[in-house]
Amino acid sequence: MARILITMLGTGHKKDGKYKMADYEIDGAVYRGETFIAHALAAHYKADKIFILGTSGSIWDSVYTVFGGRDDDTNLYLYDKKEKDDVKKDDLKSVNAVLDDFTGVKGSACFLVDYGLNDAELWNNFSQYLQISEHINHGDEIYLDITHSFRSLAMMSFQMVQFIEQVRRRDVKLRGIYYGMLEYSGKNGGVAPVVNISILAEIQEWTKAIGYLKYSGSASMLYELIMGRNGDIDKKTAGTFLHMANCISVGNIVCIQETVKIIKNRLDSLKESNNPIVAYISGDIEDFVNRLDYDNEPDFSMALARWFGECHNYGMSYIVLADAVISKVCHVKGIDPDSIDGQDEAKKIIKAFKKNEGLKQFAETYYTVNEIRNSIAHSTGRKSLISDIKNLNIYIDSIERGFKELDRQKSRGLL
C-alpha cells in the first residue's frame, strides 16, 4: 500500500528571481513560504509517491529546487525550457529523481499534459491519466490536490480516480480532495486554509448508489455506503438493502415483495439520519418503495414486471409478467396460486377466455408472453429478440387492461 499524492502544476510568475509564495494551513499545522501546495501536502501526509501533472510551461524548475534539487545548471535549464514553453518528457527525469529522494521511495513521476484547448488535447490528457493509473496498485491511498493549473485538469483528475476504481478495478481509497483557498488567506491572517472537499466524491457515490437501486435494482452499493456511516444508521436497516439486492439477483418475487415492506417500515431511520445526504436520498428510496408497494401478489408482479423492463432486465420482466397472469386468475377465481393443481386450473381458465369477447385479447397476449417466457427460461433459441424487447411494454399494457376487465367481470358476476 502506498500513499500517493496527485497534484497539478501551474505556470507561476517570477518576481525578483523568486516565485510567489504562500502559507498553508493543513489540519491545524501551518506550512510557511511554500511555492506550491504539493510540497506541504506531501510532507504533511507523508506521501510515498508524488505524481505531478503540468504543461510544458509549468514551473518545473521550482519543483526541482523545492523538493531538494541543488544543481543550479539543472534549475536554469528547466527554467529556460519552461519560459520557451518547450519542456519535454526527458527533461523531467531530474525532477523525478528529486521526488524519489524526497519521499524515500522509488516511483514518483511527472506527466506532461496539454492546455486542453480542444477535444484532441483533452483526449491526450486523458491518455496521461491512463498512464498514471498503471502506477496505482490495489490498496493504494490517493490524496488529490486540485489547487493549481487549469480547472479542466482538476475535473479530469477527480473523474479519473473514479475511472481507476470502476474500470481499472483498483481497490484504491480516495483519502482527500484538497484545495488551498488562497482567496481566503486575507481573512485568515495571510494563511490559506487547505480544505478537504472529498464530500464531492461522497455525493457522487450516493448518486450512483441511488441510480443503481432505481434503475437496475442493485442495492449492494447503497448497503456498503450505509454501513460506512459508522453507526449513523442501524445495521438491520442497512442489511435490508443487501437482502433486497440478493432477492433481485435470484429473481425471488415473494422475497422482493417482503423486503419492500421491510424497507418501507424503516424509512424513518433514513429520514432521521444525521447525514444530510442519507436524509435527502430517503425520498428517492421512498419513491422506489412506493412504486412496488402492493399488498396482493398480482398487482405487485405487474409493477415489478414494468420496473424490470425499465431496468432493461427484459428476461425477468417476461418471467414475472407471465407469472402475474397466473397469479391474477387464481386470485380472481379463489384458486391457490402456489399449488401445481391451482396453476394448471388457472391455465385452463385462460384458455377458456378465448371465447370471452372481453378477455380474448388478454388470453392471446398471455400465450405470446408465456411463449417468450419459456424460451428465456429454457434457452430455446427464439429468433425474435429485438421485437420481443420492442413489444414488451405493449404486452404489459395489454395485460394490465386484462386485469381491469377481469375485475369488472367478476364484480358483475360474469366469471
Q: What radius of gyration do the chain's Cα atoms show? A: 31
| Together in a domain, 142 and 181 | yes
Tell me the C-alpha distance between 40 and 33, whole Å: 10
| Together in a domain, 278 and 310 | no
Q: Is 190 helix (H, G, I), strand (E, B) or coil?
A: coil
Our count of domains for the chain comes to 3
Helix axes 253-265, 235-250, angle to 10 degrees: 160
Conformational region of residue 217, where left means phi above 0, alpha means psi within -120 to 50, and beta covers everything else: left
| Together in a domain, 163 and 30 | yes
List phi, psi (to 5°) of 17: 80, 5
Q: What is the pLDDT of residue 234?
A: 61
Tell me the C-alpha distance between 252 and 225, whole Å: 24
| Cβ atoms 138, 172 nearer than 8 A | yes
Domain assignment of residue 284, given as a range:
205-291
Q: What is the pLDDT of residue 158?
A: 75
Question: Residue 7's beta-bridge partner residues?
Answer: 52, 145
Q: What is the pLDDT of residue 398?
A: 97
| Together in a domain, 236 and 275 | yes
| Together in a domain, 243 and 390 | no
- Pick the last residue of a domain from 266, 291, 316: 291
For residue 198, give the C-alpha cell: 472529498
| Together in a domain, 359 and 284 | no
Q: What is the pLDDT of residue 246?
A: 86
Cβ contacts of 332 within 8 Å, gap of 6 or more: 406, 407, 410, 415
Q: Burial-class residue 187 by CB neighbours within 10 Å (0-12, 13-18, 19+).
A: exposed
Encode the chain (415 residues) as per-residue pLDDT tens digits.
899 999 988 887 777 666 788 999 999 999 999 988 999 999 999 999 999 999 999 999 999 999 999 999 999 999 999 999 999 999 999 999 999 999 999 999 999 998 888 889 888 888 888 888 888 888 899 999 988 877 777 777 777 777 776 666 667 888 999 999 988 888 888 999 999 988 888 888 888 888 888 887 677 788 788 776 545 566 677 788 888 888 888 888 889 999 899 888 888 888 887 778 878 888 888 998 999 999 999 999 999 999 999 988 999 999 999 999 999 999 999 999 889 999 999 999 999 999 999 999 999 999 999 999 999 887 766 778 889 999 999 999 999 999 999 999 999 988 7
Q: What is the pLDDT of residue 379?
A: 72
| Together in a domain, 255 and 323 | no
Cβ contacts of 383 within 8 Å, gap of 6 or more: none
3-state helix, strand, coil in the chain (%, to 5): 60, 10, 25
